[in-house]
């Protein structure tokens, strides 16, 4: 009998050309995960994720599903699969779910965090897992500027030129900018995202935080609906896929928000719409 399994997967994306397997011989997270799962399942496994990540982008809780007709324990899908994965990819949870579950199409929202390390001298440890800037950042100004992104907007100014989405309209459900220990963290939850959207948010907000543009510039960029007015695209190194939200009846496993070197903060109850 064919059953559906959902996984939570953590990975450091530094060594990979993104999540999605490609026809060219380049390393991807999906390719490595499918190979490892295929060994445990004794058949070729194809996986679908909640949100594809770009080259150099990480995940602390990517949601993935696949189908199998082999009976394995949930423990086997985690520990067994991990023995066949490189050290920078790990399955951290597994559960059998209903046949109508879909990692992408069942998701109510997706959530990313962008981690910035503002300090005078560059770090050596975790250098591939955060975005360093030598500039001091005004976190309050960044948070105030980010408020204009809440709600449903045309985010053309924040999508990559090559973005293939059918529409630039997205709904931002929550957007916070806060100091967590020595890090400045952008925390964004939306129904869906455009290509490079978070990194373009980060580029604008870091410019404002550094005092190079006024707070009002964020709204000006949004209203322009022109990517050329949006400033730099921030590096991928600080970006993490941290959560996808599903209806409760699917009973998808969850874990504390990552990345896990950040100080823990109590999570508010989020509404699904603004």
Q: Which domains does the chain show, CATH number per domain?
A: 3-106 (3.30.70.580), 109-240 (3.30.70.660)
> What's residue 185's pLDDT?
97
- Residue 248, Cα to own-chain centre: how many angstroms? 21
CA proximity to 47, closest of 79, 9, 98, 73: 9
Mean pLDDT score, 192-211: 97
The pLDDT of residue 271: 42
Q: What is the pLDDT of residue 251?
A: 94
pLDDT digits 0-9 by tens, 1-14: 889 999 999 999 99
Residue 4 tokens, joined:
């559906």
Percent of the chain past pLDDT 90, that is, above it, reads: 86
CA distance linking residue 244 with residue 109, whole number of Å = 6
Question: Tokens 């390390």 belong to which residue?
Answer: 117
Binned at pLDDT 50, 70 and 90, residue 266 comes out as: low
Give just the sign of the alpha carbon dihedral 169, 173, 102, 32.
Answer: positive
Q: Which of 18-27, 68-77, 222-231 has the lowest mean pLDDT?
A: 18-27
Beta-ladder partners of 109: 245
- Pull the structure tokens for residue 88: 């920078």
| Paired tokens of 176 | 């916070």
- pLDDT score of 229 more than 60: yes
In terms of residues, how long is the chain? 274
pLDDT score recorded for residue 164: 85
What is the overall mean pLDDT for the chain? 93
DSSP assignments along 17-72, one per residue: S-SS--SSS---HHHHHHHHHHHHHTS----EESS---TT-EEEEEEEEEEESS--
Catalytic residue numbers read 54
What tokens were used for 205? 């907000």
Q: What mean pLDDT is predicted for residues 230-239? A: 94
pLDDT at 231: 86
CA–CA separation, 89 vs 81, rounded Å? Answer: 10
In this prediction, residue 224 carries a pLDDT of 96
Query: Tens digits of per-residue pLDDT, 13-32?
Result: 999 999 988 877 899 999 99
User: Which residues, at least 6 apart from 157, have a Cβ–Cβ distance to it below 8 Å?
Assistant: 200, 221, 222, 224, 225, 226, 227, 229, 230
Closest CA to 61 of 265, 249, 244, 252: 244
Question: Is pLDDT at 196 greater than 90 in this prediction?
Answer: yes
Q: What is the pLDDT of residues 205-226, one digit of tens each?
A: 999 999 999 999 999 999 999 9
How confident is the model over 73-100, as a mean pLDDT? 95
For 39, 65, 139, 232, the CA distances from 256, given in Å and listed in that order, are: 29, 20, 24, 31
Q: Where are the alpha helices (DSSP H) in 197-247?
A: 197-209, 217-224
**Average confidence (pLDDT) over 29-57:** 95
For range 260-274, the mean pLDDT: 63
Decide if pLDDT at 175 tops 70: yes
Nearest in space to 242 (alpha carbons), one of 204, 195, 194, 186: 186
pLDDT of residue 272: 40
User: What is the rounded CA–CA span in Å between residue 258 and residue 146?
Assistant: 21
């Amino acid at each position: 009998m064919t059953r559906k399994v959902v996984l939570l997967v953590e990975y450091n994306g530094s060594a990979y050309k993104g999540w999605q397997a490609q026809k060219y011989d380049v390393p991807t997270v999906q390719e490595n995960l499918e190979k490892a799962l295929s060994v445990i399942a004794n058949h070729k496994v194809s996986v679908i994720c909640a949100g594809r990540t770009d080259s150099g982008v990480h995940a602390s809780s990517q949601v993935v599903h696949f189908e199998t007709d082999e009976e394995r324990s949930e423990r086997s899908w985690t520990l067994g699969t991990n023995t066949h994965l490189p050290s920078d990819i790990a399955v951290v949870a597994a559960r059998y779910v209903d046949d109508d579950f879909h990692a992408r199409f069942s998701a109510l929202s997706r959530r990313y965090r962008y981690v910035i390390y503002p300090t005078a001298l560059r770090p050596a440890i975790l250098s591939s897992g955060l975005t360093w800037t030598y500039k001091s950042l005004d976190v309050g100004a960044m948070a105030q500027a980010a408020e204009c992104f809440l709600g449903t907007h045309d985010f053309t100014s924040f999508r990559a030129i090559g973005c293939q989405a059918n529409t630039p309209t997205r709904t931002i459900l929550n957007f916070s900018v806060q100091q967590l220990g020595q890090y400045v963290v952008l925390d964004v939850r939306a129904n869906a995202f455009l290509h490079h959207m978070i990194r373009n948010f980060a580029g604008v907000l870091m410019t404002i935080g550094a005092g190079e543009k006024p707070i009002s510039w964020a709204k000006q960029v949004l209203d322009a609906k022109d990517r050329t007015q949006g400033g730099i695209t921030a590096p991928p190194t600080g970006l993490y896929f941290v959560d996808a939200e599903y209806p409760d009846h699917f009973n998808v496993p969850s874990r504390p928000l990552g990345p896990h070197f950040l100080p823990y903060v109590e999570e508010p109850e989020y509404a699904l719409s603004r």
